[in-house]
Amino acid sequence: MEIVIGTYEGPIISYAAKLSEEINFEPQFVEKSHSGCVKSVACNNRYLATGSSDESIRLLDLHKRVELGALMQHSGTVNCLAFHGSHLLSGSDDGTICVYQCGSWECLKILKGHTAAVTQLSVHPSGVLALSVSRDKTLKTWSLITGKPVHTVNLQTLPDNVIWNTDGSTYAILSDKEILVFQPHSGKPVRTYTSPKRIVSCKFLSPTLLVYGGEMKDITVVEIENNSVQTLSGHNARIKSLDFVRSDVKDHFLLVSVSSDGEIKIWALSQDSHDLIGGTTLNNNRPVCMCVYTGEKKYVKQMTTPAPTLKHQEVKKPKKKKIKRKVLFANIHAIQGGKSITRKLKHKKRYRIIPLALEHTT
């Protein structure tokens, strides 16, 4: 897996963590494309997006290792980024949320409704809804189909973060020293977690497993259903960001944490146990945000030796038998509006209707 870190000084730094008998960290690249502090980073299985106080979003193709350019839609600091499927969402100090098409990078929609800076957003696993919080002390639920807000909640405190859990059954709102866990369509929190000091980052690893850390320097792991708590100690400064990947072992995760002094640590984590398995130090730069890139893989193998190299074997595809079909007649409908074209065919003394796929033309 690859750990990508955005820094206060502006560079984007990447390390590859190779998992074998022990974890080895190898520098991958240092990208200095931003002229300001990097406030947010996000990646999917191919692209990396970084947002900065210079009001731009920089794009990199992690497969080809090339920079793709910049998106300049916002007129304020880009505070948050989120990939979902073939789309990228961004939130900014200008109070708007932009939705881009990956690949062409066309801005498809601009979601307007907040009267102050958008501090964080989170897309529902279905891709139909998104949540956003703002310095106007509101939580908005957006329809990503229409691009309009469908629900607004006035909050009592200034929100810092909002996140869906992995199956979309609950979401959490982070505000200073408190995390409130809600169920959709419920006005009251089902769980409340507090810390003596400010919480900076939080993440759902599963539908019921929540991790968070901040100025306490420790990482707290909470099982929401039974309220069991684990404490991960190892950092000497406040936690700046958390991310994870799933292990090939069921209900096990690899949690990555980075602190303000540049310490990067990797933890093997489950619902009832944890272990620090590796770490490194980022020199001469102050981390602000982080994401973990795994490429095409949905999970990484934990503590295993590399697989042997296999010889390429050519496989001959079997030839398809051609079927003779006699067309009796065809009934062709209008093409406008994407209506279907059907033909009535006769094959082996039986009639059937075969729809022909037709792309919608405008």
User: What letter does residue 318 receive in the DSSP assignment?
Assistant: P
Q: What is the pLDDT of residue 304?
A: 33
Q: Is the Cβ–Cβ distance between 180 and 166 less than 8 Å?
A: no
C-alpha span between 156 and 81 (Å, rounded):
25
Interatomic CA distance for residues 325 and 330, integer angstroms: 13
Write down the pLDDT at residue 193.
95
d(CA 228, CA 225): 8
The enclosing H or E element of 353 equals strand 350-356
Cα separation values, 339 from 329, 352, 353, 357, Å = 19, 19, 15, 10
Query: CA-to-CA distance for 129 and 118, rounded, in angstroms?
Result: 16
Whole-prediction pTM: 0.79
CA nearest 218: which of 201, 232, 197?
232
- Exposure of 332 by Cβ count < 10 A (0-12 exposed, 13-18 middle, 19+ buried)? exposed
State the Cα torsion 150-151-157-162 to the nearest 10°.
-50
Predicted confidence at residue 296, as pLDDT, reads: 55
What phi, psi does 338 have (nearest 5°)? 75, 25
What residues of the chain score a pLDDT lower than 70? 296-362
Query: CA-CA distance, 169 to 223, in Å (whole number)?
Result: 15
Is 88 within 8 Å of 82 (Cβ atoms)?
yes
The residue type at 168 = G
Alpha-carbon distance 353 to 8, whole Å?
63
